[in-house]
């Protein structure tokens, strides 16, 4: 059993390392193919690194590259993640940021277009997909992702919304450096980035589940064998058509756990009636697996 657990963990580590590599490629494409040619700033620490690169190129004798600043600016946030989140999460975050910096340095820029709107939309979508994919598989891209996770553990706010709240400064910087039309284009890119991130990072999308069944014990056991969720059981419900006795089960899951819920229902009671709705806010304790 221990050997099997070690094999599973090793497989997860390889998968996370592969995801970090994919993220490094995606963020490099976003920066070198779209944002830099279109004079668009990214969100968070990547955007701040771009700003420092632009300002040092204009006003300083030495230009600090975006790739170098991306890593250096993340160092204090690595410490925050080590203390507040987990050591394993921090190690993979360092790997993903390091790979992004390396890829950004060595993938040669290709100017596909100078149209700022196209650059903002496609750069934001590519970066948002890479960031959401990384978070979905338990690693971070550094920067505001780390701050966002810490704050989300306290407030329950979504990652994309947290990112937008931190990026007003980046938009203003784009306006001062490139002109206010580019600030608006950067804002479009940030919104696209946040929306795509929220679409991909489904662990934070919470769903309320209502199950009507005549096998409450079987369904409850099956769900809790698949996912770690509390369930409230209401006994004594009655079907209006046949007047047979039913029970109603209530629980809350993340969208990421939808497949496991469906498998559990199919195993225990394929004839159960299941209603799933998006949950706007959760008050009280909601278990989240450690990253």
Residues 114, 18: Cα–Cα separation, whole Å: 31
Structure tokens at 128: 């948002």
- Give domain limits for the chain: 2-203, 205-278
pLDDT at 167: 76
pLDDT at 51: 87
Which of 6-15, 136-145, 153-162: highest mean pLDDT?
136-145
pLDDT at 262: 87
Q: Are 35 and 104 in contact (CB under 8 A)?
A: no
- What fold, for 205-278? Alpha-Beta Plaits (3.30.70)
| Sheet of strand 232-238, all strands in order from the earlier edge strand to the far edge | 232-238, 245-254, 206-213, 273-278
Structure tokens at 101: 């910096």
What average pLDDT is seen over the chain?
82
Residues 192, 163: Cα–Cα separation, whole Å: 12
Top-confidence residue, 274 or 163: 274
For residue 240, the 8-state DSSP code is T
pTM for the full model? 0.71
The predicted-structure confidence for 199-234, as pLDDT tens digits, reads as follows: 887 666 788 899 999 989 999 999 988 888 888 899
Give the CA distances from residue 22 to residues 127, 133, 249, 252, in Å, rounded to whole numbers and listed in that order. Answer: 11, 9, 40, 31
pLDDT at 4: 45
The predicted-structure confidence for 33-86, as pLDDT tens digits, reads as follows: 999 888 888 878 888 898 888 889 888 888 888 899 999 999 998 998 888 888
């Amino acid at each position: 059993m221990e050997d099997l657990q070690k094999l599973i963990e090793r497989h997860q580590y390889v998968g996370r390392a592969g995801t970090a590599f994919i993220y490094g490629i995606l963020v490099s494409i976003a920066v070198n193919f779209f944002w830099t040619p279109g004079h668009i700033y990214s969100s968070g620490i990547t955007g701040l690194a771009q700003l420092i690169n632009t300002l040092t190129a204009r006003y300083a004798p030495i230009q600090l590259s975006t790739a170098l600043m991306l890593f250096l600016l993340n160092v204090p946030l690595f410490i925050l993640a080590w203390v507040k989140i987990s050591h394993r999460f921090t190690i993979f975050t360092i790997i993903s940021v390091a790979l992004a910096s390396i890829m950004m340095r060595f993938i040669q820029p290709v100017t596909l277009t100078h149209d700022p709107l196209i650059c903002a939309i496609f750069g934001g979508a590519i970066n948002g997909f890479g960031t959401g994919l990384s978070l979905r598989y338990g690693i971070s891209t550094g920067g505001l992702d780390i701050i966002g996770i810490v704050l989300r553990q306290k407030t329950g706010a979504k990652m994309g919304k947290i990112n937008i709240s931190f990026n007003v400064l980046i938009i203003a910087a784009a306006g001062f450096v490139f002109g206010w039309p580019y600030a608006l284009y950067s804002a479009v890119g940030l919104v696209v980035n946040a929306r795509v991130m929220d679409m991909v990072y489904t662990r934070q999308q919470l769903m309320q589940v209502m199950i009507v069944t005549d096998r409450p014990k079987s369904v409850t056991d099956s769900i809790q064998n698949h996912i770690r969720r509390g369930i409230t059981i209401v006994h004594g419900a009655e079907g209006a058509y046949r007047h047979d006795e039913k029970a109603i089960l209530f629980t809350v899951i993340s969208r990421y756990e939808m497949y496991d819920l469906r498998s559990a229902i199919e195993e225990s009671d394929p004839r159960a009636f299941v209603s799933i709705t998006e949950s706007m806010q959760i008050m009280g304790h909601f278990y989240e697996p450690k990253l």
